[in-house]
Structure 1
Amino acid sequence: MMRKTLTSVWPLFFGLGIIGVCIGAQGSLLGIRAELEGFDIRVTGLLMSAYYVGFLLGSLRAPKILQRVGHIRAFAALTALASITILVHSLIIDPWTWGLMRLLTGFAVSAIYVVAESWLNQAANNRSRGQLLSIYMVTMLAGLSSGQFLLKLADPASFELFTLISVLISLAAIPILITATPMPSFEAARPVSIKALYHLAPTGLIGSFLINTCYAMVLGMGAVYASKLGMQVDEISLFMAVLVVGGMLLQWPLGKLSDRMDRRSVICAAAFAALLFALVSGQTGFAADNRHLLLALLFGGCCFPLLALYLALTNDELTSDQAVGASSTLLLVGGIGATLGPFMISLTMERWGAPGFFWCLAAMSALMAGHAFYRRLIDPLPAAGEPSSFQMQAPSPVGSGLMKSPPSEN
């Protein structure tokens, strides 16, 4: 049964893998190019934040777009938009233009995720859904990490990399657009209010804000940090890839551990470890013996899996009829955090230089560890219901909580 399901959705995984490669390459490429063009660090932070503004807007507007034009045409239009915007970056070197293009890219990518996850939701049944979504998340994480190595293929100061990314985005759409697999219809969920969700699952809500802020800081400004340390392009690509791979390697072990004990304890311990690795990384900088890569691997491994743990913790506290609406509220709160992240860390780097990158991440890790520890103290009992099963999550997930089980669309 699982083999049959994978056969039906392989075009989607192929396309998403390539899109993940493009997202990973594009973020780092623009960070490096902004440094080469002499953009002010605060301007670069705002540019990177614009992507997450678009990402948030796209996730909120995508349901209406899909209801109006359908999945196939929406996917075609969105991939075309993402392909065009990356080319404009190479044609017009201007912060205002780049900011608008980043916003449009974020809008397109988030809506593409909504299409993809609704397709997976329709293809899976209750026995295969967890496995299918885990494969989806691994595909996206593998794409994000491997995309960093595209930077080694050409000079970031030229137009070739921008063109290559545009071509790959277009390529990603071809198998999906010619598949005969029926697309699902889409029904938007009514969100749970932020106030109501805070009363139901305070750790999950606050944690989703903090961890999405960290994700955006790393993916948006990590390449800028590495460039300011004097790393060459191949060293920057390896540094960024190692951060993401660390999160991919430790997601499953930390998730399974959280299924066997209070998730807040696991979150507190992992966030505290991330705090320590961030502090040491800030002191180490760029080390000739590659200690900075080991520290990046360990920081990513301790920090990035926390998103999935926060989502699982939230689901532990909810009934089945609350879960769909609550997921869209978590998306909203996480999107706000992601929007603030790159600009926040740019201010820190302006004040304390390149080490400010990891100082800021250390502060965010301290907030996550401290909040989880506080909630564990004042509410020592675990969730009353059965723990929800752990599922791997990619950075800035979107869409999985926005749809109900839909019928097929012609």
Structure 2
Amino acid sequence: MTAPAQTPATTISAAWSLWALLLGVGLLMLGNGLQGSLLGVRAAEEAFGNTVTGLVMSAYFVGFLAGSTLTPRKLRQVGHIRVFAALASITSVAILVHVLFIDPWVWAAMRLVTGFAYAGLYVVTESWLNGHAGNHLRGRLLAFYMVISYLGMGGGQLLLNVADPSGVVLFLIVSILMSLALVPILLSYTPQPDISQPEAMSLRRLYRLAPLGTLGCLLTGIANGSVFGMGAVFATGSGLAVDQVAAFMGAFILGGALLQWPLGKLSDKTDRRVVIVAVAALATVLSLVGLLLGRGDALPLTLLGVLLGGTTLTLYSLLLACANDALTPSQTLAASSSLVLALGIGAILGPLTTGLLMDAIGPDGFLWDLALIHAAIVVFGGYCLVRRPATDVEEHGHYVAVPAGTAPLGATWVEEAASEPTQLEFELSEPPTEAPPNGSAG
């Protein structure tokens, strides 16, 4: 199954030719946004405890790592449509098991399965998008996909108000959304690209080439895992009602969507590391300010969610661009999966560390966790600014906004497929030393 010979000429034509895929993604993200908050609220109602809830939520990211690793092989064997349909079906079943068995061990197993399936769905979607558009459209098409992803996740938070989380209706709605996501894909013709698996780059070597991008992805993974795994638990523990919890989580995602492009464009025009340090510093301050807010007061917490989302959820894209600035094109392809691995490892740790802190000091543990993580980014970013030379603005890679909850692996596989380099070509294309090209600052 190969991509069509003629690629679309405009972003609109590219998006229209993939309307079935994008509609399916929108439905999947609606379900994903709803189930994340739903499980956090329901776990609090069932008195799982913050540490146990953190472990349950972390299982999602363990599955996520496995799914992002194993899906490419299955894609080559059976193609995009079959893999998409199978994984979406798995998510539809997994959410129903949650309501059949109210047990943290069962929930952890199902979260692992759900993480595995969603990682695969992101891989399928992003490789599909990248393979369908030429270089002149790829960034804009991915941005269009980003908007759909954020709108879906934000809309899913609002669906928490449709029914009582203590019942079964919301679980059924998630399952219905997952199942409906299959319909447009299976009943329409959507051209599929060819892909091949990229060659890997170890995290150790990637850290030597792009230290801030690599360690920053690990740290921001912890923050993102905390937000999506324990944000609803924090809001519930702060005395917010169900509709207010939904508004708080939706505000987080809205803030991330609003500030992605402005911060990305700013980082294209100056030393990207300065923008990263400034954003992380602002997130640290906002987290500490949140400690001063009264619990049970929805409006200040929701406003805090917008501002924190605009800083926390935008760092991942900035760090990806920062890492790419320090790499050659062939290294960029090989490094993508390692950066996602760093993000995934951090995301596994996020709910666990937050849960432990919340058990120790209460809901404020959520904000302390975010403050400490972003403070660490500030400190290490400042160290890189002092010790490593800056990249010329003219040598910056092109910034592409990426949803914090997804794995940007697609570009790696599709661009690899276009050139199909051998292992020898990879080795010959790399610089003889581990120094970043052009004196860049990683």
400, 414, 418: which one aligns with 1:404 = 414
The answer on whether the counterparts of 1:62 and 1:114 sit within 8 Å (CA) in structure 2 is yes
Q: Percent identity?
A: 44
230, 243, 248: which one aligns with 2:239 = 230
CA–CA separation in structure 2 for the residues paired with 1:56 and 1:160: 30
> Aligned residue for 1:123?
132
84, 104, 128: which one aligns with 1:75 = 84
Provide closer, same or farther for how the CA distance between residues 287 and 99 of structure 1 changes in structure 2, counting only shifts above 3 A.
closer
Q: CA offset at residue 381 of structure 1? A: 2.4
**CA shift digits 1:106-165 (9 cap, x unpaired):** 000110111111110121011111100011111111111111011100010001100011
237, 241, 263: which one aligns with 2:272 = 263
Structure 2 residue 329 is the aligned partner of structure 1 residue 336: no
141, 146, 162: which one aligns with 1:137 = 146
The one-letter amino acid of 2:246's match is S
> Aligned residue for 1:152?
161
Matches for 1:169-248 after TM superposition, within 5 Å: 169-248=178-257
The one-letter amino acid of 1:17's match is G
Quick check: 281-290 or 33-42, which moved more? 281-290
Normalising by structure 1, we get a TM-score of 0.97
CA–CA separation in structure 1 for the residues paired with 2:95 and 2:304: 32
CA–CA separation in structure 2 for the residues paired with 1:14 and 1:251: 22
Matches for 1:382-397 after TM superposition, within 5 Å: 382=391, 386-397=395-406
Q: CA offset at residue 401 of structure 1? A: 4.5
Q: Mind listing any 5+ residue stretches in structure 1 that lack a counterpart?
A: none
The answer on whether the counterparts of 2:91 and 2:114 sit within 8 Å (CA) in structure 1 is yes
The answer on whether the counterparts of 1:213 and 1:339 sit within 8 Å (CA) in structure 2 is yes
Quick check: 253-262 or 378-387, which moved more? 378-387
The one-letter amino acid of 1:404's match is V
**CA shift digits 1:215-272 (9 cap, x unpaired):** 1100100000111111110000000000111111111111000001001100111110
CA–CA separation in structure 2 for the residues paired with 1:314 and 1:72: 32
Structure 2 residue 22 is the aligned partner of structure 1 residue 13: yes
**CA shift digits 1:36-81 (9 cap, x unpaired):** 1111211100000000001111001101111222212111111110
244, 257, 272: which one aligns with 2:281 = 272
CA–CA separation in structure 2 for the residues paired with 1:315 and 1:76: 33
Q: Mind listing any 5+ residue stretches in structure 2 that lack a counterpart?
A: 1-8, 419-442
The answer on whether the counterparts of 1:204 and 1:311 sit within 8 Å (CA) in structure 2 is yes
Question: What's the RMSD between the two structures over aligned residues?
Answer: 1.4
CA–CA separation in structure 2 for the residues paired with 1:305 and 1:81: 30
Q: CA offset at residue 10 of structure 1? A: 1.1
CA–CA separation in structure 2 for the residues paired with 1:248 and 1:289: 21
Matches for 1:21-100 after TM superposition, within 5 Å: 21-100=30-109
CA–CA separation in structure 2 for the residues paired with 1:404 and 1:12: 17
Task: Give the number of equivalent residue pairs.
Answer: 407
CA–CA separation in structure 1 for the residues paired with 2:285 and 2:411: 33
Q: Stretches of 4+ moved more than 6 A in 1? A: none
The one-letter amino acid of 1:400's match is G
The answer on whether the counterparts of 2:24 and 2:184 sit within 8 Å (CA) in structure 1 is yes
The answer on whether the counterparts of 1:49 and 1:220 sit within 8 Å (CA) in structure 2 is yes
The one-letter amino acid of 1:112's match is L
> Aligned residue for 1:107?
116
Q: CA offset at residue 384 of structure 1? A: 8.8
User: What secondary structure, in the 3-state scheme, does the structure 2 residue paired with 1:179 have?
Assistant: coil
User: What secondary structure, in the 3-state scheme, does the structure 1 residue paired with 2:363 have?
Assistant: coil
CA–CA separation in structure 2 for the residues paired with 1:288 and 1:32: 18
CA–CA separation in structure 1 for the residues paired with 2:296 and 2:307: 15
CA–CA separation in structure 1 for the residues paired with 2:300 and 2:176: 36
> Aligned residue for 2:175?
166
Q: CA offset at residue 289 of structure 1? A: 6.9
